[in-house]
Structure formats: C-alpha cells, structure tokens
Structure 1
C-alpha cells in the first residue's frame, strides 16, 4: 500500500503529499493554495481512508509545508525508507494527480546540489529529467520522488519531494521535462516539528503554565513562520532528571546513527516520536522512564 496522499479542502482537490511520519504529511506549500497555518485540510490516504489534518508549518521561501494528522486518527500505512540520490540514478514518481494521468519516471541529472527556489531560498535539491514529455507537469508537485535500481533490482526509497519544473526556453508558456525536488534531508532540516521538542508537544499539548506565550509563538518561544534552531534532546534548562536519562541516551544514539548514515533520515522523527511517547505514557501511568 502506498504512503502518498491527496489533500482536500471541503471537496476541492488541493494537491499531493506523502507521509513523512505517521503524524506528519510533507507537501509543497503552493499545493495548499493559500491556506494559512492552523487551517484544516482533508487527507485521503492511499487505501482510500480520509482523515483530518491541520496545516502546522510553512516555509514560504523553500515552498515546503507540513500537515499534522489529527490526534484521533491512527495511521497504520507503511512509512517510506529514505535514501540519497546520485547523478545518473533512475527515479520514479509513484503519486499522480488523477488515475488517467501518467506516472513520472526518469533519471537524476544532478543530485543534491544547491538550487535557488522560486520562493527565494537556496535549498539542497535534485535536478530530474523526466521520460514523459507532458509540456505541463502541474499537479505532480508535493509528490514523492523514489530512487529505483536498474531493472527494479533494489527496494524503492524516497529521495525527495517534487516542488518545481523548469520552463521551456523555446516555448515560454510551457514547462520543460526538467523537474526539481527538494531532498528529504533538506525538508527535515527545515522543520523543527520533526525534532524531539515538538514531538513532545504533539503527544502532550501545552498546559495552563504555557499561557504566557504570544499568539505567534509556541511554548518554547519559537515563531510559527520560520524554522527555529534545531535543538538536541539535551537542550533543556538544568540537569536531565534520572528518569529521562534512558530516553535521552536513545535520542542521542539515533542522532549519531543518522549522522553516520546507518539509519534512514525519514525514520528518525518516527523513532523519536515512539521513544518520547513511551516516556510520557510511562509517566502518566506512574512508571519510570
């Protein structure tokens, strides 16, 4: 079963995205058609189930957005493995905007290179050449890009998210078959919602003591319009309580494995989510870490 989704507002189809974790959908910001942070969207999963989501973060300069799946929904679909694409690799796009549309495929013509987005940010992106000369690739943005081995010899893994297409230099109003995709590493780097501090907020919302935060800040004082600095699991005031030490050690180990490329980057947030959830469940049930 697929991990990609369709996004809706009421009955209006907005565009595509995919499950980065079982709590967050990653999409291209322009797919949301001007929706603001905290506005609700419908999410249709690959198995046909519809769940409710909320726009929780936007990076306008990089044209990326996160949609948080409602806490009352338990998503059981598989989360994709992630990988790094290299020049000359084959790729495919498993998401298509409608059943009659073509599946995209092609080759990576430039892997993990700086790219100046239409929004103004310079991001780490893949330059892709598509086999399909469609002339207009609108509707495919927000979908995942999978790296595939020659002849399907390896398990597909998500390597990026489609965000832009290059214009045809001969016919100005038409798009060329050259597409750009932000890497998964770039997307994760831009959203602190995928760090452990915000995973705690997802599992245990702020209480009355956090009421002093302004409307444009969360309980940690982070603004909602741009990513905050990436804080490690030890970025707290004072010494770490003993009951948290085991979880903190696990989070640090996960970061170390990620830096050594021993674990898929798209799985890090999911594993941190599970570790923090186990800790909080233990505390609420009167247990230790």
Structure 2
C-alpha cells in the first residue's frame, strides 16, 4: 500500500494477518478474527498506507463483538491524517478505502440499514450497519477489519469513518454461498467496547503531553493549568463543550446515543490540534 490513507495491514513474521485502520494515532482498530488467534500483548507488525512499518501489540480484545485494538509502540510517531467519525443513515452511499491487495477492487455500495442492533457471529448484540455492496465478489473476507466511509451521492463527502467491516451475510437461497450483504460495527460501538477510547483516556494517554502541555489530570508541577489550578487552560474550551453535550442530552435536545461519538470527535480534534502545534 502507498498513499496518504489511514488504513493499515497487520503482519506477524511477515505473514499478512488482515486489515485495520488508525482510529487514533496510537490505536489501530481491527476485526478480532483478522488477528488469527493472537493473544493479548503479542506483537504485530503494522504497515501504514504510506508504506512505513511500525511495531504494535494486541492490547484489547472483545471476542463477542469480534473487535480488537492494536497499540502502536511508544517509539513510533505516526503523522498520517486521521479522518473524522460520522453516523451513517439508511440509503447513504458508502465506500471501503482499504483493499487486501493492489489488484483487488475498492468496495462501495449503499447503507441498507443504519445503526441497527445486530447479533454477530461472536455472540454479542452490537450496533452495526447493514451494507449492500455494488461488487459481487463471493468471498469478502479479505476486506474484514477495513474502514467504512460515508460518502455523498456526488462523492464529495468524506473521508468520514462510519464503521468497521466484520461480517458477510450468507445467501438465503444457498447456505454454501455468500451474499453481497456486509455488516460493519459502528465507530460508536467500538468506543463503547474499549475503555482506551473514553474521553479521559484520550486526553491523558493517547497524546502524551509536550513540555508546555499538561494532562487533564495534572498533578502540581506537571505543567500549566487554569488559573484556579484545575483543568489546563488549553483544554478548557473542549471540556466546556463536553459538559454542554451532557446538558443537552439531559434536556433531550440531542440524541443520547450520539453523545459518545460527539465527545470522541471533540477530543480527537483537540489532540490533533496539539500534535500540530495549534490550539483546540
């Protein structure tokens, strides 16, 4: 793979395991079955979309939901762009920017059911997207773990990640065949499943502080804070937004099911701004 994308290939001992993508600059989200039985803390190679190789380790697994997180080694600095998360709705166009090999096609199609409850093969009932693919490939397994992007009918929207491919539906006419219907866990579902993606962890861990930036849970002497000694001043605007989101949810002004995703977007923008030397 070459380019400026955020998707990755995962390897162990030079054997390709499957795909995934940079959910943040420190964590790769993938389908657990792509890791082919690897245990927690086992090391994997990560090939980025620009061809660079970095080391990682399996840090979280959710067997029932078929999801896993791979943490990029602390010695590696990933600078590739990370797309925004979004919510897919019935009838939206989608595309899969990841493909297993250069000669494989890019997937695309329509969202036939957005953010619905789905009983996945692992046994968990998860929030997932039902996708109809334009391409009739038979076996889509090599695409598992890849991101699903929402796109406008004119192709101008994006990249906005709306899910991660995990399953393919069987053909009802013949169980021996597979249909061109795929299932993707939503990004919101992944955030619910892994504590590494909650707001506090994103601020305190995903972007280690520089010399002029203190963590949100800073202790005295860790760095500059607000005048009252509380939240660092450069986090104040984002923290106010997070509090306001909770208030809107309590007043039924916003769908509570979307709060986690909105918080994730706000914090990710703060983190990306700090990494680029800007403000929140």
TM-score, normalised via structure 2 length: 0.79
Deviations 1:231-275 (A, max 9, x none): xx89xxxxxx95343367555335346666798565345356579
Instruction: Name the residue aligned to 2:231.
Output: 245
- Hey, what's the Cα distance between the residues in 2 that align with 1:171 and 1:26? 32
Are 1:183 and 2:181 matched, yes or no?
A: no
> In structure 2, how many angstroms separate the alpha carbons of the residues matched to 1:26 and 1:155?
19
Q: 1:39 to 1:173 in 2, by over 3 A?
A: same
Q: Kindly indicate whether the alpha-carbon contact (under 8 Å) linking 2:198 and 2:264 is maintained by their aligned counterparts in 1.
A: no
Structure 2's unaligned 5+ residue stretches are 209-215, 218-225, 247-253, 276-280
Partner residue, 1:128: 131
Q: 1:66 aligns with which of 66, 69, 72?
A: 69
Cross-structure match for 2:116: 113
Among 255, 263, 275, the alignment partner of 2:242 is 255
- 1:270 aligns to what? 268
Aligned to 1:47: 50
Q: How does 1:53-92 map to 2 (within 5 A)?
A: 53-92=56-95
Extract structure 1 runs of 4+ deviating beyond 4 A: 201-204, 247-251, 256-266, 271-277
Aligned to 1:18: 21
- Given the superposition, is the C-alpha separation of residues 159 and 274 from structure 1 closer, same or farther in structure 2, using an over 3 Å criterion? closer
Q: 1:29 aligns with which of 22, 28, 32?
A: 32
Unaligned runs of 5+ in 1: 205-232, 235-240, 278-289
Alignment correspondent of 2:159: 156
Paired residues of 2:199 and 2:263 also in contact (CA < 8 A):
no
Contact 2:149 2:158 (C-alpha < 8 Å) held by counterparts? no
After the TM superposition, which of the residue ranges 251-260 and 74-83 deviates more from structure 2? 251-260
Q: Cα RMSD (Å) of the superposition?
A: 3.0
Q: Label 1:170 to 1:78 Cα distance change in 2 as closer, same or farther (>3 A).
A: same
Is the alpha carbon distance of 1:9 and 1:258 closer, same or farther for their aligned partners in structure 2, counting shifts above 3 Å? farther
What is the rounded CA distance, in whole Å, between the counterparts of 1:183 and 1:165 in structure 2?
15
Q: Residue 108 of structure 1 contacts residue 129 of structure 1 at CA under 8 Å; is this kept in 2?
A: yes
Q: Is contact 2:150–2:157 with CA below 8 Å preserved after alignment?
A: no
1:243 aligned counterpart, secondary structure: coil
Under a length normalisation based on structure 1, what TM-score does the superposition of the two structures give?
0.76
